[in-house]
Structure 1
Amino acid sequence: MTKAEMGRFNISPDEDSSSYSSNSNEFPYPYPTKQAALKSHYADVDPENQNFLLESNAGKKKYETEYHPGTTSFGMSVFNLSNAIVGSGILGLSYAMANTGIALFVILLAFVSIFSLYSVHLLLKTANEGGSLLYEQLGQKAFGMAGKLAASGSITMQNIGAMSSYLFIVKYELPLVIQALMSIEENKGEWYLNGDYLVLLVSLLLILPLSLLRNLGYLGYTSGFSLLCMVFFLIVVICKKFQISCPFETEMVNETVNNTFMHLAESQTSALEVNVTEEDTCKPHYFIFNSQTVYAVPILTFSFVCHPAILPIYEELKGRSRRRMMNVSKISFFAMFLMYLLAALFGYLTFYGNVEPELLHTYSAVMGADILLLIVRLAVLMAVTLTVPVVIFPIRSSIIQLLCAAKDFSWWRHTLITVSILSFTNVLVIFVPTIRDIFGFIGASAAAMLIFILPSAFYIKLVKKEPMKSVQKIGAVFFLLSGIFVMTGSMTLIILDWIHNASLDGH
């Protein structure tokens, strides 16, 4: 595209100019006519994209802002979106398969990935029609402040859930790493092998100083490092399947299982059929229904949430069009589908019914000190520790925008909000029994909102050119209703399971 073609385009009055540059001296060239613009690089873009890039009604008063084409290649956009999808949720997928069976898990995984991809389709169409590349702003355009709060609150909850899962990994894995490095055969209750103390220590000494920086900048590379760690983790999971023979010493597994999981295994033996007899210990099951099956869908939805990153990646995509971004999404989702399936399958076929909510922690019960697993743990610990400050940044920015957007920067406010976010997350990690509960609750609430409810609701409200009786709108309505059903059903079953377990514990 030439500089003349990169002149200003008209954007709707409620467009937030922060998504674009507003330096009027950067391109001092005459405005292109609409006919000239349509003959430009975007001549073959579908009408929805043209409505976003160009304004067809020149008679209205518009805010004028520069339109910048994206600079990120197709391949790098696929890499960035894959980074946004993959995360700590991969560690809980084998547990989900152990409580659904192989066939049911594959069906659920396929449905969640397809639904997530469909919600990306709705989100992109809504962004083009609504003229905004900010998730929160689409909410405000659709439903006013309530929509903005819903989008901002869901993104904040999802990020807090991600932070909690990262710190849970620190709580689970760091004691094992220290124990292996110090050649300690048995944990006798030393404070430096207590996960709660270690989480507080890591948060205070490493995460808090990095989180207090105004511009994280160089920490952005951790997303790529995290993806490499997860690929390394997948390779190790596949290799260990052929090194760990079954049956193994299940008593060793039970010793390392957290108290909630132990109590569940003891009190609901009839439900956990994979643990009933010794013959079933090494036998795969294809359909399983028990009290823990309700966590499967929330874990899967938690693992596929990437929607807050869709619009920023779309904005930076070179040769931007909705069709091109959908191709990026299809490749990324298919790659993550295969990665998740392999990780869940080989993890399950290694430990069967003895899989813990966090897969990596299960290996220490059977293999003890293993150099390859130690390397994986160190890599994952480094990745999640350096990722937590990156996750805190958008949460803090969202809170500041909601509470005090018009005020100047203050170190006191900046520090107070950062400490509050980190303290709240530490409380969750210390007092919530297992990472399974984080996956389940956030997956059933915030993830369901971001994948099912908000994209379909924004689409129904903002895409005016399609009548309510059209196939597209009817599909969006059914998608919205299915999201409400998934969220309410999953939350109800999870809360009932919590109440049931609490009554068994006598609390």
Structure 2
Amino acid sequence: MARETAMELQDAKMNGALPSDAVDYRQEREGFLPSRGPAPGSKPVQFMDFEGKTSFGMSVFNLSNAIMGSGILGLAYAMAHTGVIFFLALLLCIALLSSYSIHLLLTCAGIVGIRAYEQLGQRAFGPAGKVVVAAVICLHNVGAMSSYLFIIKSELPLVIGTFLYMDPEGDWFLKGNLLIIIVSVLIILALALMKPLGLCILPLLGYLGYTSGLSLTCMLFFLVSVIYKKFQLGCAIGRNETAMESEAPVGLHNQGLNSSCEAQMFTVDSQMSYTVPIMAFAFVCHPEVLPIYTELCRPSKRRMQAVANVSIGAMFCMYGLTATFGYLTFYSNVEAEMLHMYSQKDPLILCVRLAVLLAVTLTVPVVLFPIRRALQQLLFPGKAFSWPRHVAIALILLVLVNVLVICVPTIQDIFGVIGSTSAPSLIFILPSIFYLRIVPSEVEPFLSWPKIQALCFGVLGVLFMAVSLGFMFANWATGQSRLSGH
């Protein structure tokens, strides 16, 4: 997300220049730039006037930052309700499908010579397509902001309570709802009011890059700590309450202890409706792919696809390790926000909580920037910068997200709803529709295998959305999501 915003700030430097006829489409399959020199007296074919300078390795780092998010905290919960083998198989499927959807996006971008998700929507369906795509991206970013603020609501009282030697449930000023309002007003709003133009662009770009790297570093620290705590605690639910008294996670006794620590390899229950949406939410990076493509050195479709494959593969490994070791520590007792399971007094976990809180607090304004930009383009196109409008949009967004976080009882509901709506739209439905609409019929007839694949891919996304939402609504109606204790 940080990279997407940074790319958007460079709009004045870049513009598309690739012709959209079938000859250039075939050439795009080999690379953005022709492998042979241009004909004498002709202008070289280029994807953009702006020439990317970012190396392959740095592009992988940037896309990994875009993929990594709060969804990693819910993956152990997803494994608890699917089983180890079934979870890893589903996670691998989501990773492969995400890679294929990036292939569709890169193909469409090569045809029309543009680098923004919203512009692909406009190219496919006109202004209405741009509005729909912008709305989906805004919905996803609002969900991401909500998940970050929910982490603050859940973890900040524990951190403050630890430093003050107080029970976070006992004092009014340690209530999570109050703390997220204070953090939103004093820190997030101040950062969100930065003007992303003119003289402020260099500090802002530095802030975005710093936040992006900090987030990935904190999540790596989180992973290492989860692995270490598994070997330190062993089976955190297999011992009796006396042995567990000194190191049991907050609220663990209230949930009840299992009599054994047997990992389930394959299981299905009512909470499985949240598992695949959590995985999908954790792999969304598609709005950032094309801006990163823009800055890639020696850009070609094959090279950018390799960047995507390496990034997705790295995140698959990181997600799989986090989920596996987190699940093997707490088994069926693991919560949707796994960090909340660990002891409040553990020094290592306290450091992890501080790192995660710092990362998510600084990331919320980064997520807010593209939402505000999209709203300004949709509601106030062509208008000059206005401080009242700039401030009003930030305030309205923060108030909306705070209300959502205060009203939503668990983070699994945020993961579930966003993972069932905007995530399948960005990963499955929109890329397939773009491919069907943008790729010329002269190049790929509608009944050709690539377009049939894209059509099936989009149908799969619609089915995934319908089934996930249906099961979640059924859980809400029957109250099973609350009976789970998470």
Bin of the TM-score, shorter chain as denominator length = 0.7 to 0.9
> Counterpart amino acid of 1:146?
A
Counterparts of 1:422-437 in structure 2, within 5 Å, are 422-437=398-413
Aligned equivalents of 2:220 and 2:481: distance in 1?
40
Per the alignment, residue 46 of structure 1 pairs with: 29
> Counterpart amino acid of 1:193?
L
Counterparts of 1:30-69 in structure 2, within 5 Å, are 46=29, 49=32, 67-69=49-51
Query: SS of 1:172's equivalent?
Result: helix
Q: Is the 8 A contact 2:30 2:300 kept in 1?
A: no
Per the alignment, residue 171 of structure 1 pairs with: 153
Map Cα deviations across residues 405-440 of structure 1 (whole Å, 9 max, x no partner).
221211111111100001100011111010100000
> Counterpart amino acid of 2:251?
T
Query: SS of 2:297's equivalent?
Result: coil
Aligned equivalents of 2:481 and 2:341: distance in 1?
27
Per the alignment, residue 357 of structure 2 pairs with: 381
Per the alignment, residue 137 of structure 2 pairs with: 155
Aligned equivalents of 2:220 and 2:482: distance in 1?
39
Unaligned runs of at least 5 residues, structure 1: 1-15, 24-37, 57-63, 267-274
1:342 aligns with 2:321: yes
> Counterpart amino acid of 1:423?
V
Q: Is the 8 A contact 1:237 1:346 kept in 2?
A: yes
Bigger mean CA deviation after superposition, 379-388 or 141-150: 141-150
1:244 is matched with which residue: 233, 239, 249? 233
Per the alignment, residue 75 of structure 1 pairs with: 57
1:455 is matched with which residue: 431, 446, 457? 431
Q: 1:358 to 1:234 in 2, by over 3 A?
A: same
Per the alignment, residue 320 of structure 1 pairs with: 299
1:419 is matched with which residue: 391, 395, 419? 395
TM-score (norm. length: structure 2):
0.86
Q: Is the 8 A contact 1:100 1:288 kept in 2?
A: yes
Aligned equivalents of 2:239 and 2:269: distance in 1?
24
The RMSD of aligned alpha carbons is 2.9
Per the alignment, residue 485 of structure 1 pairs with: 463
Per the alignment, residue 223 of structure 2 pairs with: 234
Aligned equivalents of 1:65 and 1:458: distance in 2?
19
Map Cα deviations across residues 233-259 of structure 1 (whole Å, 9 max, x no partner).
00000000011133146798796379x
Counterparts of 1:49-448 in structure 2, within 5 Å, are 49=32, 67-184=49-166, 186-215=167-196, 216-220=204-208, 221-246=210-235, 247-248=238-239, 256=251, 278-279=259-260, 282-364=261-343, 368-448=344-424
Aligned equivalents of 2:12 and 2:107: distance in 1?
19
Map Cα deviations across residues 356-392 of structure 1 (whole Å, 9 max, x no partner).
100111012xxx4011111111011011101111110
> Counterpart amino acid of 1:46?
R
Bigger mean CA deviation after superposition, 201-210 or 245-254: 245-254
Q: Is the 8 A contact 1:95 1:355 kept in 2?
A: yes
Per the alignment, residue 21 of structure 2 pairs with: none
Aligned equivalents of 1:127 and 1:71: distance in 2?
19
Bigger mean CA deviation after superposition, 401-410 or 390-399: 401-410
Aligned equivalents of 1:117 and 1:240: distance in 2?
32
Q: 1:110 to 1:201 in 2, by over 3 A?
A: same
Deviation at 1:210, TM superposition (A): 0.8
Deviation at 1:333, TM superposition (A): 0.6
Query: SS of 1:373's equivalent?
Result: helix
Q: Is the 8 A contact 1:20 1:68 kept in 2?
A: no
Which of 1 and 2 has higher RCO (CA within 8 Å, sep 6+)? 2
Q: Is the 8 A contact 2:75 2:278 kept in 1?
A: yes
Query: SS of 1:242's equivalent?
Result: helix
Aligned equivalents of 1:353 and 1:47: distance in 2?
49
Query: SS of 1:468's equivalent?
Result: coil
Deviation at 1:170, TM superposition (A): 0.4
Map Cα deviations across residues 3-44 of structure 1 (whole Å, 9 max, x no partner).
xxxxxxxxxxxxx9x856379xxxxxxxxxxxxxx9xxxx98
Aligned equivalents of 2:130 and 2:107: distance in 1?
18
> Counterpart amino acid of 2:67?
I
> Counterpart amino acid of 1:407?
K
Q: 1:432 to 1:46 in 2, by over 3 A?
A: same
Deviation at 1:470, TM superposition (A): 1.1
Aligned equivalents of 2:330 and 2:105: distance in 1?
39
TM-score (norm. length: structure 1):
0.82
Aligned equivalents of 1:501 and 1:441: distance in 2?
16
Identity %: 50
Q: 1:50 to 1:255 in 2, by over 3 A?
A: closer
Per the alignment, residue 21 of structure 1 pairs with: 13
Aligned equivalents of 2:355 and 2:368: distance in 1?
21
Q: 1:45 to 1:412 in 2, by over 3 A?
A: closer
Deviation at 1:134, TM superposition (A): 1.1
Aligned equivalents of 1:278 and 1:286: distance in 2?
18
Aligned equivalents of 2:190 and 2:454: distance in 1?
44
1:497 aligns with 2:485: no
Query: SS of 1:424's equivalent?
Result: helix
Bigger mean CA deviation after superposition, 128-137 or 455-464: 128-137
Bigger mean CA deviation after superposition, 317-326 or 148-157: 148-157
The total of aligned residue pairs comes to: 444
> Counterpart amino acid of 2:228?
C
Per the alignment, residue 35 of structure 1 pairs with: none
Q: Is the 8 A contact 1:20 1:65 kept in 2?
A: no
Q: Is the 8 A contact 1:448 1:486 kept in 2?
A: yes
Deviation at 1:167, TM superposition (A): 0.6
Q: Is the 8 A contact 1:113 1:337 kept in 2?
A: yes
Q: Is the 8 A contact 1:48 1:129 kept in 2?
A: no
